[in-house]
Chain A
Amino acid sequence: MGQGPQSLELEIPSDVGYIEDVVAEVVRRCEAAAFPGRHVAFHIPVAVTEALSNAILRGNAEDTAKSVRVRVLVDARALVVEVEDDGAGFDLEACTLDPTTSDNLGREDGRGLFLMRCLMDHVEQFRARGNVVRMTLHRRSSDDRAA
């Protein structure tokens, strides 16, 4: 089993160049909590990258005067990541396209929210101080054998 609960709070400028470092921090904490290899190598980095990318590019429109706030809680049971931007928010259901349809397959965009929802157990969106996307990935007891 991994270590006890770990939390992380970060605030980054609206610059996609910061994404990899934030992802690396989240991944490190999930490794310490003994999340399975596939979660650490694939599900978490892709989903967190997508959430940060949406916040920076869409929520804050790359306005460097605005920031993105990231809150992470990792324990033996789950990873919860909240990404907050200063945008007006969006309708999660309406904005999640199915990129696998024949009409959408050739699109260059429109796969981010779809991937977040495929790779995490829960994705929610709500308003707090800003627009927040919260993603949850559960670490199941069966993962102890798969890790």
Chain B
Amino acid sequence: MSFTVKKAGDVTVFEVEGTLIVGNRQELKQRVIDEIEGGARKVLVDFEKTTYIDSSGLGVLVSLAKKIRETGGDLRLANLNDDLQTLFELTKLDTLFQISENRARALESF
């Protein structure tokens, strides 16, 4: 997994490439926490280039969403492919996150 961090106005966008799984989730978690502690309040995770996510990856997203909501911010998601959408539906995490079909829609939603 690799990820890049970009700014789109006041939204911090994380593009996740590859897998988000138990072996690499801490890298993303720490980087998002660094951004939150640096003042980021609107965070978007873009999964356009993500192949699959395991339960640890989902757990990190839940953890980060809690953390940023405690600061009055929000973490939103975009660009889930059909498999990732199924994953969020199976676990009902689609009810916990605001998910947009693409980045433009997600940025407008903040």
Contacts and interface: CB of A to CB of B under 8 A. Distances in A.
A95 interface: no
Nearest to A56: B22
Contact of B90 (A20, A38, A110, A118): A118
B45 to A, nearest CB: 16
Contact of B91 (A16, A49, A57, A111): A111
B54 interface: yes
A46 B62 CA distance: 18
A53 to B, nearest CB: 5
Interface residues of A, number: 26
B83 A50 contact: no
Contact of B96 (A38, A106, A111): A106
Given A16-B22, A20-B23, A108 B91 contact: no
B22 to A, nearest CB: 5
Contact of A105 (B51, B52, B95): B95
A42 B86 CA distance: 10
Interface string B18-51: 0101110000000000000000000000000001
Contacts of B90: 114-115, 118
Contact of B21 (A42, A49, A107, A110): A49
Given A20-B21, A50-B54, A111-B58, A42 B83 contact: yes
A90 B62 CA distance: 26
A32 interface: no
Contact of A99 (B56, B83, B92): B92
Contacts of B11: none
B6 to A, nearest CB: 25
A4 interface: no
B96 A41 contact: no
Contact of B62 (A45, A57, A107): A107
Contact of A108 (B21, B53, B63, B83): B63
Contact of B52 (A16, A46, A111, A118): A46
Contact of B87 (A17, A20, A46, A107): A46
Q: Which A-B residue pairs are the 8 nearest by beta carbons? A: A42-B83, A111-B55, A108-B59, A100-B92, A16-B23, A112-B55, A49-B54, A53-B22
Interface of A: 16-17, 19-20, 38, 41-42, 45-46, 49-50, 53, 57, 99-100, 105-112, 114-115, 118
7 contacts: A17-B23, A19-B23, A38-B83, A45-B19, A53-B22, A106-B62, A110-B55
